[in-house]
Structure 1
Amino acid sequence: MYDLIFKHLEEKVSLSQADKELIMTFFKPKKLKKKQFLLVEGHACKYMAFVNKGLLKAYNVDDKGNEHINQFSPEGWWTSDMSSFFSGENAFYSIDAIEDSEVLLITSEDFENLTLQVPVMDRYFRLLFQNSLITKERRLISSHTHTAEEKYKYILENNPNLIRRIPQNLLASYLGLSPETLSRLKKNAVFTVK
């Protein structure tokens, strides 16, 4: 259950066996069925989740009932409404499972204790949050400056395995496109999923 998270952690920091044993005590495993919620927009986010198996999406819903997807989280990714997780305020996003999934959950209190008791985890999360910030900034710039074709090509080149798992309507929402526009792009594209 913890092999993937340790592999992911050790890509950024070194862990002793004692560190690993202590880290496991801070996480609670949870299984989610397809379409089951981990977090509902408007409620406080109690957990940050590491995706051990499956695929989740983080999104908000506008006044017309349209989903606007912020993030897909496959195996090896973290997901949460970070603002709510750290502040205790209500979440801006909902998070649910696209596939049957298994996650490892940590509360904000346990997060603080983990980073104090295993100091190398403080460095790990700093690196993780830095990378997340860079990714979100690039995505924001892309949403304002790239054409629909450029957005689609970018995600095909950088996440080909993920694209195969995501229904077209969800991918369109993530890219800020209508399903019809995405369908047209796929039909006319000179580039394909590898």
Structure 2
Amino acid sequence: MPLILDNISKHITLTEEEKTLFLSKTETKKVKAKTMLLNAGEISKYSYFVNEGILRSFTINDNIVEHILSFACADWWIGDMYSLISKKPGHLFIEVIEDAELVLLSRENQEELFHKIPKLERFFRILIENSLVANQERLMDNLSLTAEERFEKFCQKYPSLMASIPQKYIAAYIGVTPEFFSKMKSKMLRNNSF
């Protein structure tokens, strides 16, 4: 069974006919590392499900500093929800970090599927709720935890990403410069707190 159907089956049960219809409304695509799937200022047309590889979503501030909002690896979804839902230009970049195989679901096909398979609305509501909870938790962490504590939490939450992504991306995710991150990590290793 395709990974995306396994992902859906964690929350709802589809009949064989519904699975076939769902897959018929998606597009599978292989994408090379460093490919930009979405640029800030564009209107997002797709949600992306990762079969393999790693992606990141990020913004760039006025000082040309990147702030990573999320990563996505196999069995995860990623997208610019603001742009996808509002149909307005978004603020996020989505980039492939590691060669990937993605399943693309357009907003139009998603809406069609909601009408033909209403329980998919429940599935996507659960995804959005989980995303909202994770984003709120991350915001609270950024307001209340030290950089070291944010890094430790990242390591606990995403152990598989530690060896797969450049350290500058981890630094951008926890909100520090690569130089500060390098010094912080060295200090943590010396103190055996990592």
AA paired with 2:156? E
2:46 matches 1:55 = no
Residue correspondence of structure 1 range 145-184 to structure 2 within 5 A = 145-184=144-183
2:72 matches 1:70 = no
Instruction: Structure 1: state its 5+ residue gaps.
Output: none
**1:61-108 CA distance string (max 9 Å, x none):** 122222111111111111111111111100110101001111111111
* 1:131 alignment partner in structure 2: 130
CA shift, 1:6, in A, is 0.9
**1:149-190 CA distance string (max 9 Å, x none):** 110111111111111111000110010011122212322222
Q: State the distance in 2 between where 1:40 and 1:81 align.
A: 10
Q: Give SS of 1:185's match.
A: helix
TM-score normalised over the length of structure 2: 0.94
Structure 1 runs of 4+ aligned residues shifted over 4 Å read: none
Q: State the distance in 1 between where 2:193 and 2:18 align.
A: 45
Q: State the distance in 1 between where 2:72 and 2:193 align.
A: 24
Between 1:167-176 and 1:62-71, the stretch displaced more is 62-71
Q: Give SS of 2:98's match.
A: coil
Q: Give SS of 2:59's match.
A: strand
* 1:32 alignment partner in structure 2: 31
TM-score normalised over the length of structure 1: 0.94
CA RMSD of aligned residues (A): 1.2
Q: State the distance in 2 between where 1:161 and 1:16 align.
A: 32
Instruction: Structure 2: state its 5+ residue gaps.
Output: none
